[in-house]
Structure formats: C-alpha cells, structure tokens
C-alpha cells in the first residue's frame, strides 16, 4: 500500500512537471528572442527569401507552440492512464504482495525466535529441576545409608552383648556345677578322713548327712558370693 501511494504521487508530480514544461520553455524562448532580436533584424531578408524558396516555416524549439503543448499533454495523460491501468497496477500489486510476503517472513522469523527462546527457557527450567531432584535423591540415599549403617552397628552390638551375656551365663553355670562337684568330692573325702580319724564306723545315713552338711557349708564360701 505504501508503494502504491508512492507510485501514484510520482506520477502526479511527473504530470505536473510535464504541464509546466511548455510554459517554462515559452519564457525561455521570450528571453532568447529578445537577445537575438538584432540578429534577426539583420538576417530577416535572407530568412524570408529562404523560407519562400523552400516553402517551410521557421521551426525554433524555443518558441511556444500551443498545439504541440496540447498534444504533448494529451499524449502524456493517455500514456499515464494506460500505464496506470495496465502497467502500474500489476507492478504495484506485485510490490504489495512482495511487501506482504517479506512482512510475513519477518513475523514468522520473530515467532520462531520467540518460540525458540521459550523452548530454551523451558529446557533450562527442567534441567535445573532435574539437577535439584538428583541432589535430593543423593542426599536421601546418603541419609538412608547412614541410618542403615547405624542400625547394622547397633544390631551387631546388641548381638555381641547378648552373646557375651550367654557366654557369661554358661561360664557361671559351668562354674557352679564344677564347684558343686568339687564340694561333693571334698565332702566325701572329708567324711572318709574324719571316719578314719575317729576310727568310728558311720552308717550310710550318717555318711549322707555329713556330705550334705559339708556341701552346704562349702557353698557359702563360693567365689563371687562374698
């Protein structure tokens, strides 16, 4: 549309210049005629004789010719009309279409640039989110590993403590059994020695009673019960 208006403005200016051309030519012709008036007076007779001999008028390009100006203007107007109807219209339409196509390409390029920027921003946002999520997963895995390690250590310590307690109980039980056996054997030996000493023969009931008393007496002095 801008190109069409520019073409029309140029055509109007050209028409005005063409219409003013004959007037300017007439003014210049008047000045030239004033300057060459003396020369024309001197050569007037020869010019008249030459024109009469050839039968042709004097054709001076600086002289104002009304009919020539009218014909020139008419031809220019007709040419301007023909060009405006059959030439400048298609040219202007082609230029308008080209302008619209270029504007469309520019708009498409700007839209593509905007879409690319939006896509890049979305990609960067997703990348930052993925990085934060990965760091969170790593921290969570470290925390879970620390908790699992602490649980394993605590369970191992508990099992070791239970094993130690069982071992201590077994040792104490074995020690108590051994002490009881030792007490019985010691009591038997003591009774036998006492019988030999007093030279008295004990009945089985007395023998059993002495052994039980000796064991009970010995049990009071077991290690760890003082």
**Statement: residue 39 has pLDDT above 60:** no
- What is the average pLDDT across 201-209? 69
- What is the average pLDDT across 17-21? 50
pTM exceeds 0.75: no
Distance separating alpha carbons of residues 72 and 61, to the nearest angstrom = 14
Confidence of residue 8 (pLDDT cuts 50, 70, 90): low
Distance separating alpha carbons of residues 41 and 189, to the nearest angstrom = 191
Mind listing the pLDDT tens digit for each residue in 60-114?
Answer: 666 667 778 888 888 888 888 888 777 777 888 888 899 999 999 999 999 999 9
- The pLDDT value recorded for residue 29 is 44
- The pLDDT value recorded for residue 200 is 54
- The pLDDT value recorded for residue 90 is 80
| Residue 76, CB-side half-sphere exposure with 13 Å CA sphere | 18
Average pLDDT over all residues of the chain? 73
CA 221 to chain centre: 87
- Which of the given ranges, 5-9, 50-54, 85-89, 165-169, has the highest pLDDT on average? 165-169
Least reliable range by pLDDT among 75-79, 198-202, 213-217: 198-202
Distance separating alpha carbons of residues 16 and 9, to the nearest angstrom = 11
**Statement: residue 45 has pLDDT above 60:** no
**Statement: residue 175 has pLDDT above 80:** yes
Least reliable range by pLDDT among 1-10, 45-54, 90-99, 207-216: 45-54
What 69-73 contacts at long range (C-beta under 8 Å, 24+ apart), as own/partner pairs, is 69/22, 72/18, 72/21, 72/22, 73/18, 73/19, 73/22
């Amino acid at each position: 549309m801008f190109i069409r208006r520019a073409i029309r403005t140029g055509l109007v200016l050209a028409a005005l210049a063409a219409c003013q051309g004959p007037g300017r030519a007439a003014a210049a012709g008047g000045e030239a005629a004033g300057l060459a008036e003396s020369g024309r007076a001197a050569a007037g007779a020869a010019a008249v004789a030459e024109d009469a001999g050839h039968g042709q008028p004097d054709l001076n390009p600086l002289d104002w010719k009304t009919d020539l100006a009218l014909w020139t203007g008419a031809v220019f107007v007709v040419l301007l009309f023909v060009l405006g109807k059959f030439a400048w219209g298609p040219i202007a339409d082609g230029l308008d279409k080209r302008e619209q196509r270029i504007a469309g390409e520019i708009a498409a390029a700007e839209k593509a640039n905007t879409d690319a920027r939006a896509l890049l921003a979305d990609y960067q946002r997703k990348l930052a989110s993925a990085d934060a999520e990965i760091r969170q997963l790593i921290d969570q895995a470290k925390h879970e590993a620390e908790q699992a390690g602490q649980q394993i250590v605590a369970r191992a310590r508990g099992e070791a403590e239970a094993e130690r307690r069982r071992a201590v109980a077994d040792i104490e039980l074995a020690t108590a059994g051994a002490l009881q056996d030792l007490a019985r054997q010691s009591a038997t030996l003591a009774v036998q020695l006492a019988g030999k000493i007093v030279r008295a023969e004990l009945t089985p009931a007395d023998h059993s009673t002495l052994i039980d008393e000796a064991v009970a007496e010995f049990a009071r002095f077991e290690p760890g019960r003082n």
